[in-house]
Structure 1
Amino acid sequence: MSLKMLPMFSLDFPKLYLILYKSLHLNILVFSFDSILDVNGAFCKITGYSKDELIGLKLSDIVSQESQEKVKILENKLFRKEKFDSSERIKFVKKDKSSLEILSYFKSFSYKEQNLGLLIGQDITYEEKYKVLFQTLKSLNQLIIQTTSETELFRKACQLFLQNLNLKLVWIGIPDRKNIKPLYVYGEDNEYLSNIKISLDESLPKGRGPTAQAFISGKIIINPDSRINPQFLPWKEKALEKGYLSSCAIPLKKGDQIVAVLNLYSSEPYFFDETLEPLLEEIQNNLSFALDKIEKIRNGLLTITAISNAKNWIIITDDKGYILNINDIVCQETGYPKEKLIGKHVSFLDDPENLIKIKDKLKETILERKERYKDIFVKRTKDNQKIILKQEIIPVKLINDTVNYVVLGTNITEELKLWDKIEKLKTQDLFTGLLNLEGFSRKVEEVLKILKTEGLLILLDIWGTSYINKVYGLETGNKLIKRIASLLKGAFKNNALIGRTAGDEFGIFLYNIKGTGTSEIVNLIKNFEKPFKIDTHEINVQINLGCSLYPLDGDNFKILFEKASISLNESKNKGPGRIVFFTKELENKLNSLLKAEKLIIKALEEELFIFHYQPYFFTSDLKLAGFEALVRIKENEKIYYPGEFIDYLEDHSEILFKFEEKGLEKIIKQIEIWKKLYLLIYLLNLYKILRLFANLLN
């Protein structure tokens, strides 16, 4: 029975009440201006209250803020003993604090000289939710039709869900190594995400929440009540502070791969439950479809543009190959007028070199077997420019058994150029301008095929990227990534390939290096000694390096990358600022170089270099020929010999120059001392001789 039909019944009201009171589907409530007097079991069941808990409360005590005014008007009418007969949509607050919408028919009546109100209601909560969700799906479909980029899709979809579903927070996260990183965030207060972590490691509590499980399982995960859901415990306190009482996580696919998770947060507990799952799946399917569509558009846009703008060539020849007719596009693209081409042999337009390559196969197929022939032809324009044509030659048998030929051709010159651009897009990281992982691997493989010397693969990881993003913000974090990419491009000469292999990871392949490339690593580390200035922030960046050497550790990119990755993971496990080689002897050599660098810099600053002078003689008469200066470093009574630092000096010409300058100063000073000492000895000897001579005279 529809609620709209109730006022039409002329049945005695008390009798009608008794009939309706026992209904399992209609919610009955009797109230006065200051209290609820009676409720039926159906109303108790849907609200979660017992009858005793409701009796004595005011009707306005159990309705939401947005329905307060409507109910208080009715209570005031009862107080003033005014009559009413109306229908309203009233939102009630259930015992568990979730909301419930009831289509309510209100009628005043008199009982034992009391002016009372009767509520007969029908639960339309899910009907309203479905209506809103259907409207949202409709708007989403319109958005999908109009959207051609992922960024636009995600941003507008988040805003749509936030507004239409009256949510507190909507965000989309993507995988970032072992965590989920927020990419687009919309809501009243998005600082919540800066203070939490969502792991993809299921062995951790933070890897078993809705978002991580949705990404791992590919299924929609619903958190009906943040207050009691044990899987939501790691985020419970901060979520409740923000009023996030229920949520759901919807994994989004691109092809067969989960690429992101859409997260919806409501201020109502049980806003999301299993009854809504079909509609949530529809949202998931629509967004995944949109991602596939955008991906196809992205990959095929340039090609489609080229094909849509291309026009087919049509050339008709006689049985000997002489042109009988052509369409306008042939003239437009070759630059020849029609009258110039008609009567010419079709080969007039062909590039001679290309025609020589295919003439035997062309003759056999067309002239001897009279079959279709497809191939790529190179044509020449009037001004001798090349046109690449995808061409098919079709023999057409006429009524008189003669054969003419129809040549259909598509100009793919620009298309081939566009494909080159597409290939570049596939191999480039658009954010930094560096090679992406695929492009990096291809380029390294190309170099390895011709490399005659050793090569070094370095994987560089920025330590604490998530912390940087939380402290300074995602925008600053992104700027830092770009700054480091720019730094790496300028840090090496023409013997390096550089790529961005993951969100906060870079790959560097050094070739034609001296030795094992340890000196290049030392120079690389120096670039991170000073803080990076990003806008108003000065950010100290620590890095970890994992290295593998060609051909010692592997002879192809895959093996070298795997071993460098193993080294990088070991480096990160040891803490920030660590460098790990897959081959430990190289790691030890690097550590020695780093130690030598510190020692030499200190020796230059504090003048710790000392020289021992070793004389050498002429072999002919054993007379003194000169001295050899032997350098040492003396620090805190400890003597360091050349073998401990000479390799570093030889690899760093600017440091070697400073050392030679300092050493030369010391040697010159020593020679001056020797000169003075020699003069003194000479004068003493002269004095002794004069004294001796004087004594002899006496």
Structure 2
Amino acid sequence: MTEVEATGREQSRLNQLIENLDLSTSIIQNATEGIMLTDKKGRIISINKAFTSITGYRLTEVIGKPVDFFRSNQHSKDFYESVIRQVKDYGIWQGEINNIRKTGEIFPSWISIQPSKDSAGQTTNYIFYIRDISEIKYIETNLRQIAFQDPLTGLPNRSQFHSRLSHALELAKRNNQQVVVLYLDLDRFKVINDTYGHEKGDLLLKQVSERLISIARKNDTIARMGGDEFTVLLEGTSVDSIIGASTFAQKILSLFTYPFRIDNHEFYITSSIGISLYPNDGDDVTTLMKNSDMAMYRAKELGKNNFQFFSPELNERVHKQLDMEGYLRHAVDRNELRLEYLPIVNATTGEINSIEALLRWDNPELGRVFPDVFIPLAESTGLIVPIGDWVLETACQHLKKIHDAGWSNLKVSVNISGRQLERNTLVGTVKNALESSGLMPSSLILEITESLLMKNMKATRAILQELRSLGLGISIDDFGTGYSSLNSLMILPIDTLKIDKSFILEVTSNSQNLSLVQGIILIGHNLNLQVVAEGVENLEQANLLNTNGCDELQGYYFSKPLPLESLLDRLENTRGFIGQI
């Protein structure tokens, strides 16, 4: 009897093992990722259906073959050796590799490799997880092209111009050369645009760009900053002296001495130009751009249709900034700062899911100072660190009050500056803000701009991982303006992409903007990220974004930023729902 019972138990365990193996096989075969299993020498033992779908190869065609049979020639021998070393040393490798399909087509794939070991710790097999990222890479390439190029004129845009100026300054410093920046603004363009419509205004901007290109030399860069503003970069041998810059500026002015013909109309416009020079007027991109912009406004003050060099007199404005800095240093102590909150709603239902904290400053001497004025000043002086700490603490305290009032599902987003990220106190500051307010970490989202993430990927990733481990959310703000790569998005511990409002502004009228937004939404969802659209100003935009799968929306269509008490009233009056979708 005992032997029979033992045999029965053994058979039961065997049946359970078979069931588990069948279940594992089913899971592997139906996985959406391609899976390839090799022996310890790298010979293929098994593949799943997704692998066949991705590469075109059936099991009978690859079994027993070495794993490198579908490698492309686009990676070096050293690259593959480094992959093997990392798998052996660290037990895993993941990254992007270009492989070859059965058809001969080379395709980009995201691959993860892990060894499988027996009970003695000896490697018996290797498991390859393969994901075809062709579509995402295609979208990424298009996004990058759109991001660097002005869609209307085909000229380099602001970001591309800044990049070229930065490179020009590096060369100039090494070769002891000059660099000239000309900042050009069209006079009376707004009148024409408002009177005859945006279509004719756009055609006029195209003709202006064509005329500017006609006088450009090989080393010159002509760019459109946006609106009716253009910039010119003169570098290297194309610049002799101040006289050379003056000559080129005069050529630009002469372009506007004859009319622009559009349909049956003739338009006469002029331009105002500001000029700054390296090294006289600055040795970095920000300073040279700022000084040329100031000089351009001086040209407008002097009657337009002329050019002006940056001069010491314009530095009076800098002194005003110094006065502002003095006031800003005491803004926290004097209770001059306050927070307002911009609701972020579910794109389908209109329910408020979270709020973004926005900083405001009212000074007795200066009056209301706008964020785009004082925040850059706070960044440049380092004052953004104590101010940022205050914002974090206050936003957490305010959200706790909102939770206590019955809206416990709401989250708050707080923007983090570059200076805060660079210091090693940010994690401690966040912990203190959460503990002192009694707020759960899951209720806090930290927003970091895309351009900031790209500055020091390794250090930023480490800080974000530590912050994420606390249980809070991480969001990339102004996405689409910083040119992050697909790889960076895959390895960063993030939850949300926020599409920059500049792309939303014309999403209903500009097909390129719509394509860009659709691409960002697709990339976000492929990476299991939430996607939020900023700057939604009307129902048409809201409906279009919802149709294209955007998860959340924010903007003045739903609500202007609200003080805490007004926000509580709005939540109570709308029962947490806001705006028509």
Which TM-score bucket, shorter chain as reference?
Answer: 0.3 to 0.5
Higher relative contact order by CA 8 Å / sep ≥ 6: 1 or 2?
A: 2
Q: Could you say which structure has the larger radius of gyration?
A: 1
User: What TM-score does the superposition give when structure 2 sets the normalisation length?
Assistant: 0.42
Compute the TM-score of the two structures, normalised by the length of structure 1. Answer: 0.36
